[in-house]
Amino acid sequence: MSSALRERNRAMLEGGGSLRHVLGGTLDALDERRTAALDELDDAERLRDLARDLRRSSIARLPELLERFADRAEAAGAHVHFAADGQEARAAVIAVASEHAARLVTKAKSMVCEEIGLNSALEAAGMRVLETDLGEWAQQLDGEPPIHIVGPALHKDLTDWQRVLAGAGYSGPSDPRAMTEFARKAMRAAFPEADLGITGVNFAVSETGTLAIVSNEGNARMCSGVPSVHIAVMGMERVVASWSELDVLLSLLSRSANGQSSTAYVNLITGPRRRRDEQGPEELHIVIVDNGRSDLLGSDSQEALHCIRCGACLNACPVFRHVGGHGYATTYSGPIGAVITPFLSHEPGASELPYFSSLCGACTLACPVRIPLHELLLAGRARATNGAGAAERTAWRLWAHAWSNARVYALSGAGLGAPASASLLPPPFRNWSKGRTMIRRRGSTFRARWKKGEVLDRT
């Protein structure tokens, strides 16, 4: 693991006590609500199997479905732009914005826009961007990226909210209702003034060229419907074959994301406003972003493209719970982030993200579309170690062989007892042992615990 990555995590682990406290409570609540919402279904497991099969089939036909989606969307009056990478995607958005001399942009939460760094590009081009999702607005005011793909500010407590909103002029009580009302008024004033609305896309229905955009705050509807120009930015894997597939995925998305049977708003958009429509944008542009996704197609990690961005694997992940999304320093965090980021980003340390996992498999169990995340993390680790030298590979092979034997294990540092054993281990094992507690066990008790996997406790 690179020293930058290690340093970042050490800082998060050492200084993140309150973060872990707030995050842990929220993630526990989300996980409980997810389980309860799935339990309400007659046969949630069958639905998850169906979702897996539908995603597998659609991603296997991705080029064909994308082409059909683009044809149908254009036939409905939309302009479709294909962007090979972030630079092309930003250029496409800025070209449309410049053509309309846009100055104020209202924007709904979108992870792909985060991925391509759209806000800073728009601001550099002279535009003001207002995030209209409440949590995303708080993060924008605070100068922080989102901490979670579903809840951008779910690590913030009431004190944080009061501090952040004070920067926008709030001087009321520490009361969530009053703060939300303040935010609502600020948004409402901006929507009619905006020249351009930008949203992400949850799903794109190939058979009709329709965009499906979900939200709980109604802001995506305001961003897509009020300004005269709407730009929807989507990762190319968002495409689904049919309305039947959309139906299944929407049902699982809201349940897995926050335990709702449905989000408050499901916006279905086919083309821009028509002559008989009273409202809606005069122009709709759809920017379809590749940015490394083609490299996932046909790879051993293709199933990562099945992801519906529900965030359930983040909530279940013990590593995410310790360091939060900012510990990854990437757009996508948690298990799915650790799998896809090495394909989407060439930043230093990206290839090492699969090591941000205990491989406990909790992510795989939580995933509504049954992506075998722990296997994809292992595949990512194998890719990351392809460059290791012969000496390093031999050392790790010997270590694995030795510690696979209970007697040798007992004779090694682990058998000497904690905490002295950690300091007795030679490098690089000394670093590895930091943050872990070695438990001394002998004889039958030791063997029994070894078999049960209890010998090495992670703290």
Residues in touch with ligand SF4 (CB under 6 A): 256, 307-313, 336, 366-369, 371, 373
Cβ proximity to ligand SF4, 379 vs 416, nearer residue:
379
Structure tokens at 136: 């995303």
Cβ proximity to ligand SF4, 108 vs 366, nearer residue:
366
Q: What minimum distance in Å lies between the beta carbon of 145 and ligand SF4?
A: 17
- Rounded CA separation 106/364 (Å): 36
Cβ proximity to ligand SF4, 220 vs 369, nearer residue:
369
Q: What minimum distance in Å lies between the beta carbon of 381 and ligand SF4?
A: 17
- Rounded CA separation 116/128 (Å): 17
Cβ proximity to ligand SF4, 83 vs 312, nearer residue:
312
Q: What minimum distance in Å lies between the beta carbon of 352 and ligand SF4?
A: 19
Strand partners, 210: 205
- Rounded CA separation 337/52 (Å): 19
Tell me which residue of 364, 345, 363, 361 sits closest to 353, measured CA to CA.
345
Q: What minimum distance in Å lies between the beta carbon of 132 and ligand SF4?
A: 23
- Residue 141: exposed, middle, or buried by beta-carbon count in 10 A (0-12, 13-18, 19+)? middle
Neighbours of 34 (CB within 10 A): 24
Q: What is residue 332's three-state secondary structure?
A: coil
Cβ proximity to ligand SF4, 170 vs 320, nearer residue:
320
Q: What minimum distance in Å lies between the beta carbon of 253 and ligand SF4?
A: 8
Q: What minimum distance in Å lies between the beta carbon of 302 and ligand SF4?
A: 13
Q: What minimum distance in Å lies between the beta carbon of 333 and ligand SF4?
A: 10
Q: What minimum distance in Å lies between the beta carbon of 385 and ligand SF4?
A: 23
Cβ proximity to ligand SF4, 130 vs 147, nearer residue:
147
Cβ proximity to ligand SF4, 217 vs 303, nearer residue:
303
If you search the block for the tokens 């050490």, which residue do you land on?
10
Which residue pairs, CB below 8 angstroms and at least 24 apart, start in 453-456? Answer: 455/409, 455/414, 456/414
- Residue 420: exposed, middle, or buried by beta-carbon count in 10 A (0-12, 13-18, 19+)? exposed
- 389 close to 377: Cβ distance less than 8 angstroms: no
Q: What minimum distance in Å lies between the beta carbon of 87 and ligand SF4?
A: 26
Cβ proximity to ligand SF4, 222 vs 362, nearer residue:
362
Concatenated DSSP letters of 42-107: S-HHHHHHHHHHHHHHHHHTHHHHHHHHHHHHHHTT-EEEEESSHHHHHHHHHHHHHHTT--EEEE
Tell me which residue of 167, 168, 109 sits closest to 133, measured CA to CA.
109
Cβ proximity to ligand SF4, 289 vs 336, nearer residue:
336
Give 230's DSSP letter: E
Q: What minimum distance in Å lies between the beta carbon of 420 and ligand SF4?
A: 40
Cβ proximity to ligand SF4, 44 vs 141, nearer residue:
44
- Rounded CA separation 354/356 (Å): 5
Residue 338: CB partners within 8 Å, gap ≥ 6?
A: 328, 353, 354, 355, 356, 357, 377, 380
